[in-house]
Amino acid sequence: MTKRVVMVAAVARNRVIGNGPDIPWRIPGEQAEFKRLTTGHVLVMGRATYESIGRPLPGRTTIVLTRDPSWSPSRLAGSHLRTGADGVLVAHSLTDALAQAALLPGDVIVAGGAQVYAEAIGLASEQVISEVPLEPEGDAFYPEIDPAVWEEVGREPFDGYERVTWLRRERLAG
């Protein structure tokens, strides 16, 4: 069976997702929801996002994308290299990351940042977007969601944001 590849992001009205290494807002509860949605699954994220978090997220395997053949998570102060539930693996292309994820239990969660979202939107099956009603300054953006390709299938209010679920239309048809 083909794995679900789900993009999970918090996106402002102006499509900003980040400013430098940071996310330019703080919404109590949103991170807990991210944890609830992603625990038991495989996170795929860019090296910049991984380094801004600075550690593996518990209960999830993280696959870090980098083009640097010498990069290792153990290079970060205080981090540890483990495989398993909260382990960190390294991939050198999105295809490589998906091939590694295929061997692990759970869905593939594309967790950013901007570079990785821009590439993965072409092959993801689903997007779960926290729509944040702010227009902050930023330098990292979420790609446009083309309504010819994606259908909004759910919208739920949360405290301080709305969670919108999009499915790829060809997936709906199949």
Ligand X SMILES: NC(=O)c1ccc[n+]([C@@H]2O[C@H](COP(=O)([O-])OP(=O)(O)OC[C@H]3O[C@@H](n4cnc5c(N)ncnc54)[C@H](OP(=O)(O)O)[C@@H]3O)[C@@H](O)[C@H]2O)c1
Residues at the site binding ligand X, with contacts judged by CB under 6 A: 9-10, 17-19, 21-23, 45-49, 52, 65-68, 71, 92-94, 111-116, 119, 140
Give CA separation, 44 vs 14, 101, 138, in Å. 24, 8, 22
Q: Which residue's CB is nearer to ligand X, number 68 or number 151?
A: 68
- Minimum distance of ligand X from residue 129's CB (angstroms): 9
- Minimum distance of ligand X from residue 173's CB (angstroms): 28
Q: Exposed/middle/buried for 11, CB within 10 Å: 0-12, 13-18, 19+?
A: buried
Q: Which residue's CB is nearer to ligand X, number 50 or number 150?
A: 50
Q: Which residue's CB is nearer to ligand X, number 112 or number 143?
A: 112
DSSP secondary-structure letter at 37? Answer: H
- Minimum distance of ligand X from residue 25's CB (angstroms): 9
Q: Which residue's CB is nearer to ligand X, number 42 or number 94?
A: 94
Strand 42-46, strand 108-110: pairing: parallel
Give the residue among 161, 168, 163, 162 at the shortest CA–CA distance from 145: 168
Q: Which residue's CB is nearer to ligand X, number 39 or number 66?
A: 66
- Minimum distance of ligand X from residue 104's CB (angstroms): 19
d(CA 142, CA 53): 18
- Minimum distance of ligand X from residue 53's CB (angstroms): 9
- If phi over 0 gives left and psi between -120 and 50 gives alpha, with beta otherwise, what is residue 53? alpha
Give the residue among 27, 60, 19 at the shortest CA–CA distance from 157: 27
What number of other Cβ atoms are within 10 A of residue 61's Cβ? 24
